[in-house]
Every structure is written in C-alpha cells, then in structure tokens.
A and B are shown apart, each in its own frame.
Chain A
Amino acid sequence: GDSVTQMEGPVTLSEEACLTINCTYTATGYPSLFWYVQYPGEGLQLLLKATKADDKGSNKGFEATYRKETTSFHLEKGSVQVSDSAVYFCALSEFQGAQKLVFGQGTRLTINP
C-alpha cells in the first residue's frame, strides 16, 4: 500500500537557520503530495502542495519540489522563525480528486530565539 516516511524528529534549530525535513513516499500511481502543519492544540493546516512531477509548492517561505525520480518531497526553508515551531506532516493522496490522505509520522520542529 501507499506510505510516507518522514525524517525522525524532534528537530531543534536556532532562529534564521536553514531547515530541511525529508519526506519520501511509496505509491502505485501518481499521487498529489502535501505538507500540513499543526500548531499546538490545533487541527492541521495545508502548508503547500504539488500535484505532478517537478512541481514546486511554496508558501510562507517554505518550499518543496515533487521529485518522481527519487520519490521525495522534502520541505525546505532558508531562514526559520520562532513562529515556525510546530509539527509538520508530509502526506499523499493517490488519485486525482481522491480525498483519503496517507500521512507520514510527523516531525516536531522547535525554533529557539
């Protein structure tokens, strides 16, 4: 079945450091890929997405590129802020219009001032 594997956390960085959270996936078809963010005590918010190979999703300074050849969708940010502290989930949905999401384990990110 489909699966998503994320970099183990927790990750602790200083403000303005560079961030990479690795995500790889296994899927039988051509999934859409997502990064969701969860702030403490809240639900999930969509951070960015990519629907086909070589697409780059970006939002709030975060970026991720859909790499079919390496089945990866790594999350990157050049300069993190304290407000970026949260749990980040990589996820996929298998078919166009499908709604069921398969999530990675989540990576807890803490940014220190």
Chain B
Amino acid sequence: GAVVSQHPSRVICKSGTSVKIECRSLDFQATTMFWYRQFPKKSLMLMATSNEGSKATYEQGVEKDKFLINHASLTLSTLTVTSAHPEDSSFYICSARDPGTVEPEAFFGQGTRLTVV
C-alpha cells in the first residue's frame, strides 16, 4: 500500500515554544491530508483537513491559530503547534489517501508523541 511518513516520532518541548510536525506521502501525491489527535486510551479526533495550495479546514472546537497547517506541496503537510502548553501533549497522527487509485482506504503516518513540559 501507499506510504505516509511522519516526523518526528517523538518530541519534548518547553511550554511556550512551537513545534512543527511533518507528514509526507512517499510514493503518491496527496492533494488532501488529515490531521488527528489521540488522547491516551481514546479514539482519534479529526482536527483538520489539509488542502494543497489552500487553507486548511478545521473541525469545530479546534483553534486554527494554535494549530497551524501548511500544505505547500503535493507530498508534504505540516502541523505547527504554536505556543505549546502541557495540555497540548498528545499523540498526533496524519493520514492521506492515494487519489490515483479507486481504493477507499487512508494510510497513516507513524504518529508523533508530543510532550510539553
């Protein structure tokens, strides 16, 4: 199947700093990528839809100024957690679907464990 790579896999940062997480589609071009957040022992919550060349679409309750999304190329979307606080600590996962196939499934990155201290 298609490969989605996420980096870094783990990051620890100080309160007040910003952290950038990258999501790349390695063997296909993704006009749309999705960013999810997963709380401990909980399901995945869709945060936003990243659209190549245009603004991201955020889900209700997600602060767009807090979670900046940039999708500048067909293979890369970035999520920047700005002015991070301990409550932003979580597992963040991106996904994308290969539009070059008729298969409906999405492929996920490995996830990024963010810890804000």
Contacts and interface: CB of A to CB of B under 8 A. Distances in A.
Interface size grouping (class) on chain A: 20 to 34
B68 interface: no
Contacts of B109: 43
Contacts, number: 59
B91 to A, nearest CB: 9
Contacts of B104: 32, 49, 51, 93, 96-98
Contact of B34 (A41, A51, A100): A100
Interface in A18-48: 32, 34, 36, 41-46
- Main DSSP-derived SS at the A contact region: loop
Given A99-B34, A99-B96, A100-B34, A45 B49 contact: no
Contact of B93 (A43, A51, A98): A43
B113 interface: yes
Interface of B: 1, 6, 32, 34, 41-44, 46, 49, 93, 95-97, 99, 102, 104-111, 113
Interface of A: 32, 34, 36, 41-46, 49, 51, 89, 93, 96-101, 103-106, 108
